[in-house]
Amino acid sequence: MLDMLSLAGDLIARTSSTARVQEIVELSLAPVFLLAAIGALLNVVNSRLIWIVDRVNRIEGLAEDGRGGRLVEELPALRRRRGWAQGAVNLSASAALTICCVVALLFISAFVRPPLGTLVAVLWIVTMGLIIGALLLFLLETRAAIASPRDRRRISRAILRRGADHASE
């Protein structure tokens, strides 16, 4: 019991400094701004993903009714775009989670004796990698979005050919 009181007293002593709390809040501002930027990216990519999913569902519905026509030929390209957008959403959400861990560790570091700087740095690097991956997938998806219907059909045929080539191997 005496050890618990000693530990509690030690925690209060280390965290009662207003200056230390202010320092931690200042340190957490950059990650929090990055978190806001990731949220904006998630909003944009998720909107695009919803549009793609709706388009795929609409075309598949038309195809089931026998009214899909040439639109059905665009499905492989749209599905590829859907995969890129979903990947960007997943990587962005993962980056947001790691940034939340960075902020939490910054505050926890005020309570514990072992230095957590290395762990914070590693999480920051992981976050940057996740954001880079998300932005690359977003770039691929937006580049594919500007294709004309004829280009989308050509891309879809190439995707189907590659799938057939891989299946025959």
Q: Is residue 157 part of a domain?
A: yes
Average pLDDT over residues 98-103: 94
Helices H / strands E in the chain, number of each: 5, 0
State how far Cα 110 lies from the chain centre. 29
Average pLDDT over residues 55-82: 93
Classify residue 161 as exposed, middle or buried by CB count within 10 Å of its CB (0-12, 13-18, 19+): exposed
Q: Is residue 145 part of a domain?
A: yes
Instruction: For residue range 120-129, list pLDDT tens digits in order.
Output: 999 999 999 9
Confidence class of residue 166 from pLDDT cuts 50, 70 and 90? confident
Please state, as a whole number, how many other Cβ atoms lie within 10 Å of the Cβ of residue 30. Answer: 13
Instruction: For residue range 69-92, list pLDDT tens digits in order.
Output: 889 999 999 999 999 999 999 999
**What is the predicted pLDDT for the residue at 122?**
95
Q: Is residue 7 part of a domain?
A: no
Q: Is residue 13 part of a domain?
A: no
Residue 21 scores a pLDDT above 90: no
Average pLDDT over residues 35-41: 96
Nearest to 142 by CA among 154, 150, 131, 134: 134
| Phi/psi of residue 2, nearest 5 degrees | -65, -35
Q: Is residue 57 part of a domain?
A: yes
Q: Is residue 10 part of a domain?
A: no
Q: Is residue 21 part of a domain?
A: no
Q: Could you tell me the residue range of the domain that residue 160 belongs to? A: 28-168
Q: Is residue 69 part of a domain?
A: yes
Query: CA 79 to CA 52: how far, in whole Å?
Result: 8
For the chain, how many structural domains are there in total? 1
Please state, as a whole number, how many other Cβ atoms lie within 10 Å of the Cβ of residue 8. Answer: 10
Average pLDDT over residues 30-51: 95
